[in-house]
Amino acid sequence: MTGDILINSLSGLLIITSVMLIGSRKAKSSAMLYSVQSFVLVLTFLAIAKSVDAEQLYHWSITAFITKVIALPALFYYAFSKMSDPKADKPVIHFGWIIPIAGVITMASFMAVESVQLPLVEHLKPALAVSLGHFFLGLLCIVSQRNILKQLFGYCLMENGSSLSLALLANKAPGLVEVGITTDAVFAVLFMVILARQIYFKLNTLDVNQLTSLKG
Amino acid sequence: MSPTEILLLLMVVPFVAAMISFLALRGGEATRKFAIGCHSLSMVLIMILSLTVAGSVFIDGPIQALDNWLYIDGLSALFLSVLGVVSFLTGMYSIGYIGHEYKHGELSGTKVALYYGLFNLFIATMLLAVSSNNVIMMWVAIEATTICSVFLVGLYGQRSSLEAAWKYIIICSVGLAFGLFGSILTYSNAAAVFADPANAIFWTDIHQNAKALDPTLVHISFIFVLIGFGTKVGLFPMHAWLPDAHSEAPSPVSALLSAGLLNCALLVILRYYIITVKAIGPDFPETLMLVFGFMSVAVSAFFIITQHDIKRKLAYHSVENMGLITLAIALGPIGVIAGLMHVINHSLAKTLMFCGAGNILLKYGTRDITVVKGILKVAPMTGILVAIGALALGGVPPFSMFVSEFLMVTAAISEDMPFFTLALLSLLAIVLGGLAHMVACCVMGDKPDEIEKGELSFMTIAPMVVIVGLIVIMGTFIPNQVLHGIDRAALVLLDSDEPTVINILNLPGIVQPTEMLATKPTLAQK
């Protein structure tokens, strides 16, 4: 039972770090907050691994630590060092609105998973709701940002939500599954950063509002 | 060679061709020509091998490879054969199109080599998506199609193409993140209830034990899968990337996106649809398919008539047709047959039209239908082919899309949905009007003085002529082998143990697939 409380508490911390990440104004701070969020996710992995004695999850934790806590934040930090567009850093949605919207998302997610009958998550429904909620928080991150690089954090939040649900529901799955998903997601982010770089050097902007020549 | 070995070879061929093209990135003219030669060989082999594998599956039943990671049944065999043919046609057209762009300095030698490398890699990922039995690998393969094709969309490096590439990768990746969550929920759901969780990752095993899955999670995962992979299919309201990417990509890539990629993503949705129907019954998934499909048709029909950009018009037409296929699946057995037939017919007709649009763009330097006039006088062969293509896309007989659209309407009537049928017919009429208007504007009229008369090249015309032949055959006398393939695919989609389903159509003058099976020796007998 103590393990379940720890897992649910860490999941709650994931929501808080996500909201902080979405609301962060400075691009480099966002990269660091993403690293913190991923670290909380790794801790959640470890808590689940200990709780259900899932050896594979320990391996996932190592992979996740390398890719999500170190590699991706470093890539973002490097990208933000090379590309800067202060005009694009102003968010579309004020932080004051982000908090109640995140609250509504969390509540709706709790209600959605209420009727799940799987014995595996009987005491972990808050954590399952957090994993579901991360999709809509990711979406919120994308629509609330003007900076195309900061929009990528939305995708990363969604990917963290997927990893959490995988760890909760299939914690004895072969490590190859987690490695496959993480590798693909890392490549996706890498290619998005390369494309953002092309846009920055060609159009001299990171502002999504400037990318409006194609309409209709 | 056994069908399994042929399948593995099919996976390897485009990958090798891609590597050769990438090696030619820093090479000279001779190296590049060698890479283009390898690309041509790759396209021919892809078509032959995919049709061989599909034919073998239609006759002998499903095949598995790589410890169950790859699986081809009747449904994926149909999609595989369409992908093989479309890859060949667009690959051949690429030689003419990209050759013209290189000759006129629009693309550098490096970009030409990059194009062929990415083109082959894109096909390799689509082949993997179609053949995958591992639900997570299905997602990985579909995500990989985005990564491989995004730089094809932005190949020209102009403001508009970079913008289109950005929208493409961000919208599709976010959409596919939803698809990933749906895939993980399905897998996790199966892993939690299976005696051996190791098999929970395979679609075949999840399908076999679908009734044991948790119903709430099945509901949630189907919604996520439909939104996620539906983004890649181009269903409304997740279609926003499609008109931009299709219009800004080089025309052979637009054709491959529309006639290849959208089908691959649709196949993944159909895989989950089969599981969902078995787990919780047809009401919920059919309603969602019908709603998303109809909304896609309705919204895109109005965009088609208002667009002035030829390629954007065609892109919205893809949204409309993927919507038609999606809603048809929810209209009972006749609808399923119609939808699967439409997968073939739409892919062929759309390839023809994007190739035609490519020729127009190369000739006139614009895609604006208010500027493009008198194609019939400028390039008569292209003009005739474009006119045929537009009418075929509009569902005019004797071309193939008429047959499948007619079947869809029949299916809607047989399901006792008169108002839905009327609404569908009205929307189809609007689409036909939009395409007829395009023909009237562009193909007819006087030749502009500044445009030089004459066709572009053999390689930009020959693939289009072949497609016209195919859509006439598919519209007038559908070969029994094709009908048999559709039958096999429909049986998988309907999850039916019956020997055949296509006999409900009572088509005149054809050998029923069951009779054909009885008279034709199987590969094993041979």
Tokens 């790589």 map to which residue?
B66
CB-based contact A173 B312, cutoff 8 Å: no
pTM: 0.92
Phi first, then psi, for residue B65 (nearest 5°) are: -150, 165
How far B181 CA lies from chain A's nearest CA (Å)? Answer: 5
Question: From the candidates B136, B187, B316, which should be mutated to test the interface with A, based on the most A CB atoms within 10 A?
Answer: B136
| Domain contains A215 | no
Task: Chunk chain A into consecutive blocks of 10 residues (it has 216) and report each block's average pLDDT, rounded to whole numbers.
Answer: 85 93 88 94 93 86 92 92 86 89 93 81 86 91 91 91 86 75 84 92 90 80
Residues B247-256 as b or e (16 or more Cβ within 10 Å = b): bbbbbbbbbb
Q: What is the pLDDT of residues B358-367, one digit of tens each?
A: 999 999 999 9
Residue B164 main-chain phi, psi, to 5 deg:
-65, -40
Task: Provide the CB-side half-sphere exposure for B196 (13 A, CA).
Answer: 4
Distance from CA of A86 to the nearest CA of B (A): 20
B479: cis peptide before it, omega within 30°? no
Residues of A in contact with B181 (CB under 8 A): 131-132, 135, 158, 161-162, 165
Whether residue A117 is contained in a domain is answered as yes
Chain B hits for A155, CB-CB cut-off 8 Å, are 170, 173-174, 177
**What's the rounded Cα separation, in Å, for the pair B513 and B365?**
48
**Count of structural domains, chain A:** 1
Give the orientation angle of helix B310-329 with respect to helix B241-248, to 10 degrees: 130
Asked if B217 lies within 8 A of A181 by C-beta distance, the reply is no
Q: How many structural domains are present in chain B?
A: 1
On whether residue A216 sits in a domain, the answer given is no
CA B156 to chain A, closest CA, distance in angstroms equals 12
Tokens describing residue B86: 């479309």
Question: Residue A66's pLDDT is what?
Answer: 92
Q: Please write the tens of the pLDDT for every residue from B8-62.
A: 999 999 999 999 999 998 888 899 899 999 999 999 999 999 999 999 999 999 9
Cα A134 to Cα B180: distance, rounded to the nearest angstrom: 13
Range of the domain at A36: 2-210
Which of B136, B144, B160 comes nearest A213 by C-beta?
Answer: B160
Distance in angstroms (rounded) separating the CA atoms of residues B521 and B499: 17
A130-179 per-position pLDDT tens digit: 998 998 999 999 999 899 999 999 999 999 998 898 888 877 777 777 77
Choose, out of A157, A165, A169, the residue to mutate when testing the contact with B (most B CBs < 10 Å): A169
Asked if A188's CB is within 8 angstroms of B147's CB, the reply is yes
Residue type at position B347: S
Looking at the domain assignment, is residue B484 inside a domain? yes
Contact list in B for residue A187 (CB cut-off 8 A) is 147
In a mutagenesis test of the A interface, which of B185, B213, B308, B369 is the best target, namely the one with the most A β-carbons within 10 Å? B185
Q: How many helices (H) and strands (E) does chain A have?
A: 8, 0
Per-residue model confidence as pLDDT tens digits over A173-183: 777 777 777 88
> Considering the domain boundaries, does residue B141 fall inside one?
no
Structure token pair of residue B101:
């762009």
Q: How far is CA B463 from CA A33, B93, B355, B468, in A?
A: 53, 6, 8, 9
The pLDDT tens digits of the residues spanning B143-201 come to 999 999 999 999 999 999 999 999 999 999 989 988 988 998 899 889 878 877 778 89
Number of C-beta neighbours around residue B332 at 10 A: 18
Alpha helices in B104-158 (DSSP H): 109-131, 135-153
ipTM for the predicted complex: 0.89
For residue B398, give its domain range: 304-526
What is the crossing angle of helices B262-280 and B159-193, to 10°? 30
Among candidates A138, A191, A214 on the partner chain, residue whose Cβ is nearest the Cβ of B150: A191
Backbone angles phi, psi at B71, to 5 degrees: -150, 125
Asked if residue B457 belongs to a domain, the reply is yes
Which among B143, B144, B181 has CB closest to A161? B181
**Residue A198 covered by a domain:** yes
Rounded distance between C-alpha atoms, residue A78 and residue A28, angstroms = 9
